[in-house]
Every structure is written in structure tokens, then in C-alpha cells.
Amino acid sequence: MASNKCWLILAITLCVIGIGSGDDDHELLSENFYHKTCPKAVETIRKAVIDAVYQEPRMGASLLRLHFHDCFVQGCDASVLLDDTPNFIGEKNSAPNKNSLRGFEVIDSIKSQLESMCPSVVSCADILALAARDAVFALKGPRWEVKLGRRDSTTASLSESNSDLPAPFFNLSSLITTFKKKNFNIQEMVTLSGGHTIGRVRCRFFRDRIYNESNIDPSFAEAMKALCPSEKGDGDDNLSPFDSITPDTFDNAFYQNLVYQRGLVHSDQQLYANGAGITDSQVFMYSRNFGRFKKDFADAMVKMSLLSPITGNDGQIRTTCRFVNN
């Protein structure tokens, strides 16, 4: 009896102090984390991102994607930024990332500025989180609050980068499974997919859809064929916007396109099955209500930015985002 009582007290104690709770790391994050240690950090990042997006609007989508590909692999720890070395294998050469992810130079430039101002204070993971938010806002999208205080990983996972990121050939069930693995429900999956309202995709990833699928607007398919020849190897890297109407504006045209069967990649069109799918009503609602999409997207991005952050004394603050500190 006494033994059982001791175990009960221990269990309650562990619960109270949060042993094993993934929420502990979140409690160490704060919007004002750098208020005293690097007061100009947030504004420096914002200005650099706005300048980069102004010079090349496509960069907005690239910075958003960098943050997404970071958080879905090991959590939001800047592992995606690490270069391969003779003694280290990073994530940049995984199938979803190789010759595809971009924006590294923008992050490098920001980090260099911050190191001059506040050496070894602002993490690369926090730079990615803020850069994604500011990039979306620069393209007329929503703005959300970003909690700060993440630290940078000393590891990366090529295997997880190959297995845990959604692919353009996924069907709906695969998309649901991939997002569920990161604790996102179906509604949040549909919301985060709306990030494709900006950005470009290579011909190799939509060729099969425009030539072989039937649930596609014929005139849209013909227009895309002009950019993407049918033969593999011919124009594989030709780029087309996910949304050819307003490619550099964060709006709800992505969902409008799906309703009209103008989703460019297979996985996107899976979200709308001409009124018969389990996600159709949400897609249709977003196609008519940009305000609701903006709010939901901001909320989902806040949740994504809190995926398994490294905090406290774990990890490190890299001095260069591409390499682990010596």
C-alpha cells in the first residue's frame, strides 16, 4: 500500500514539473526573447527579407518553403541549412531539397549582419521562422506572432528529409498521413497547402498531371504543355507558377484554381474532387473567403513554428548557419 502511494506521488510530481512533456520547450520561447540581448534583431531580419522579396518576388515563397522543410524534419532547428562536409551529411541533397530549396544566401546575409551586431546571440532557427513570416507578409499575406528562443541543431537527418516531406505525387491519404505525423489535422493540412498560392514548380513534377490526368481543365493543361514538353528530359527544369494568375501575391487564388480543376501538381488537386471529397468544402470555402484563409494560415504557421524546438542549453547558436560550431 505504501509502495503504491509513493508511486502515485511520483507520478503526480512528474506531471506537475512536466517531465516528458513536449510543451516545456514552448514555455522557454517568447516574442521578446531578444529584447535585451539583441534589440534590433527582429527589425534587421524584417528589413532584409523585404529587400530580398522586393528584388525578387519569388524569394518570398522560397523563404516560406525553407522554414517548412526545416520544421518537418527534426523540428524547427535550422538543420535544413547545414552543408555537407567530409564528416557530415546534411539535408540539402535529399530528393525534395536537391536543386530545389533556395534562399540560403538571404539567410547567410542576415546571419552575418546579426553576428556583427550581437555575436552568438540570434539562432539560425529563429531567423528562418521570422523570415518566413516576413516573406509572406511582404507578398500581401497574413502576419503572425513568432515566439523566439530556438537554438540550432548540431545534427541533420537526410533519411527523415526523404521520408517526412509531402511530395507532389501524393494522393490525399498520403498527404493526411504525412501531416498527421507532425500532429496536424486534415483541416490544417488543407490550410498549409495554401502556401502554394505563391512559388514555382519544375516541369518534371507536373508533367504527368497535364498529359495523363483527366481531372484537369483542358485549356489549362494545354497552356501548361507549352511550358513543359511531354518527353522526359526535355524541359524538366522549366518553371511554372503554382498559381499562374497572381503568382507573387499571397491570396486565395490557389483554392479558386482547385475548384476549377487547375491545380498544377497532382497532390494539390487531390484536395478538391469536384465536390465529392472530404476536403472539398474547406477548399470551396477558402476560394470564397480570403479572410478566413488568412487567419487559419497564420494560426497553422504558429503551430508549425513550434514543432520540436531546441531550447535552453541544448543545441547551440551557430555563428555560421551552414556549419556546426567547432
Asked if 125 and 7 touch (Cβ cutoff 8 Å), the reply is: no
Please indicate if the annotation marks 73 as binding a ligand: yes
Please indicate if the annotation marks 77 as binding a ligand: yes
Q: Which residues contact 135 (CB under 8 A, 6 or more apart)?
A: 49, 53, 59, 60, 61, 62, 63, 64
166 vs 93: CA distance, rounded Å = 16
- DSSP letter (8 states) at residue 81: G
Which residue bears the cell 547551440? 316
Please indicate if the annotation marks 199 as binding a ligand: no
Q: Which run of H or of E encompasses 183?
A: none
Q: Which residue among the candidates 26, 35, 69, 266 is catalytic per the annotation?
A: 69
Please indicate if the annotation marks 249 as binding a ligand: no
Please, where are the H alpha helices in 72-206?
Answer: 104-117, 124-138, 158-163, 172-180, 186-193
Please indicate if the annotation marks 196 as binding a ligand: yes
Please indicate if the annotation marks 70 as binding a ligand: yes
**Would residue 266 show up in a list of annotated catalytic residues for this protein?**
no
In 3D space, the residue among 275, 203, 284 whose CA is nearest the CA of residue 238 turns out to be 203
Please indicate if the annotation marks 75 as binding a ligand: yes
Please indicate if the annotation marks 266 as binding a ligand: no
Please indicate if the annotation marks 60 as binding a ligand: no
Asked if 141 and 250 touch (Cβ cutoff 8 Å), the reply is: yes
Please indicate if the annotation marks 126 as binding a ligand: no
Binding site listing? 70, 73, 75, 77, 79, 91, 166, 196-197, 243, 246, 251
Binding site listing for Ca(2+)? 70, 73, 75, 77, 79, 91, 197, 243, 246, 251
Query: Hey, which residues are catalytic here?
Result: 69
Binding site listing for substrate? 166
Binding site listing for heme b? 196
